[in-house]
Every structure is written in structure tokens, then in C-alpha cells.
Amino acid sequence: GGGGAVIHIENKPMSVGSYPIVIGQGGIGDVPGDVALLASITGGTTTFDGYSATGGGGASAYSNQETPSGGANSGGRGAYFDNTSGQPAPTAPSNQDAYDTVHAGFVGGHFRGASNYPSGGGAGAGENGQTPGSGSSNGGVGGDGIQIDIDGNNYFWGGGGGGAIYDNDTGNGGPGGNGGGGAGQDNAAGGAGYNAGGSSAAYTGTASDDVIGEQGNGGANTGGGGGGACYNYGPSSSYTAGNGGSGIVIIRYAI
């Protein structure tokens, strides 16, 4: 899946008082369909003081038999779709005033005719997701989020999820983008961040692979996208895509 939007607000005067905050839930990795098709659901919206950071978009599945969603940054394309047509455009939030900068509007990678059918990486809040090279077996790398230093740690936020391999071949899943992006199935690392994205386990060809969680979830409170899941992997096809990471609001003020 794609990473969520990041809104950076600087030097805004604030009155003393109470401000409601809503933290958006990360998109839930889709359950298998009639033919074990796996995709992610668009993440929730995080709101504060009139600002709305929308969630990242869900990825499409094998042969696009599940429709992708746009979101702030779109998810990657599933196998057998050798182009970008039909994928909804990302819908970045609008600037609210002179104090905020919106980081969003990037596009997920897509499948490009590789013989082993890897899927594209989800877009991050700082760049597009990777499209695997022609002939590659590896899933696309999730796009990096945007790097912002708020508390002395120059973290990335809103990384895209990595794309998955097609089945139990020799390729590896795409690493998650920096900013908490989850890794695609299998054998890949999650993206760095305030909370790192989950890594994906290596394929063993045994019943131990037949579990939920072989693909990485987005890091909690990073807005990172979840990693993609394989269509036909090991003893079972009953895998779900990784969940996206929840949102966060950080307030820095002078004392």
C-alpha cells in the first residue's frame, strides 16, 4: 500500500486551549478473495486544528481483479498489469494556509512484463514506488517518505509498502520505503522510521510458511504502507497483505 500524507506546519501561532485530535488507522490488509486475491484498503485520515492528512491508497491485486484505490499516495500494481492505465490518481490534501506544507501525490509502481510477475512498490510521501525491472523476480521497493526533524531525530514519515513476489520463486519481496513502510513478501526488510516497518520472512517451503504475517505491516504511528502478499506462495495461497501504519500528530512548542 501507499504511505499516508504528511502535513508539516511551521511557526503557526496557537491559542491556549483544547484541540481535538483524531489519529487515522492504517489500512487493513485485504483478506483473500475467491481466488486468493490480496490488496490493501485505503488508510484513515488524521486530523488536527482543521488540517487533514489522508491515508495512503491500497494496492491492486493479481490481474487487477481487485480495484486499487488512490489515497494520498497510491499503492503498487499487482502482477499481469504491464502499464499504469486504470489506476486511480493519488488525491493529495490541499494546503490550508501559509503555515503548512503537504507531502503527498506520488504514484505506486506497476508490473512491467517480468517473467516472474513481481508487483510494484507503494508510493511514499516523498517519492514514487518502484516498478520492477523487466525480467526481475524481485518486488518493487516502496517509495521513501519525507524526512522531517522535529525532536532531534531526522525521521522519515509516510513510507510506501514493498511489492511482493508472485510465488515461491528465487526473487525477494521489495523492501519497505523509509518512513515505516512494510516489506513485501518475502525475505525483505521494512523501512526505517520512528517505528520501523515490519520485515517479511524468508520462504522455507514448509508448513511454517502457512501463516498470516509473512509480509510486513507499516510501522505504528508513521503512516507507512503495508507490504504486499504473494498470490501463490508455499503450501497455501491464504495470505493477507500487510496492514498500514497508523497516523500521528506531533506538536513542538517553546516553553
pLDDT digits over 97-132, tens only?
A: 999 999 999 998 887 665 677 888 999 999 999 988
Selected residue with higher pLDDT from 255 and 39: 255
> What's the CA gap between 233 and 170, in Å, rounded?
12
pLDDT digits (tens, 9 = 90+) for 10-28: 999 999 999 999 999 999 8
The pLDDT of residue 37 is 45
Beta-bridged to residue 7, according to DSSP, are 102
pLDDT at residue 180 in the model: 96
Containing 6, the helix (H) or strand (E) segment is: strand 6-9
DSSP state of 47: E
Say how far apart CA 184 and CA 152 lie, in whole Å: 30
- Higher-confidence position of 251 and 91: 251
pLDDT above 90 covers a percentage of the chain that reads 48
Between CA 239 and CA 246, with CA 245 as vertex, the angle to 5 degrees is 130
Q: Average per-residue pLDDT in the chain? A: 82
Query: Grid coordinates standing for 99?
Result: 503555515
Q: How far apart are CA 160 and CA 95, in angstroms?
A: 22
Task: List the one residue out of 142, 154, 185, 195 whose CA is nearest residue 1.
Answer: 142
Q: In which band, very low, low, confident or very high, does the pLDDT at 62 lie, cut at 50, 70 and 90? A: low
Please say whether the beta carbons of 89 and 74 come within 8 A.
yes
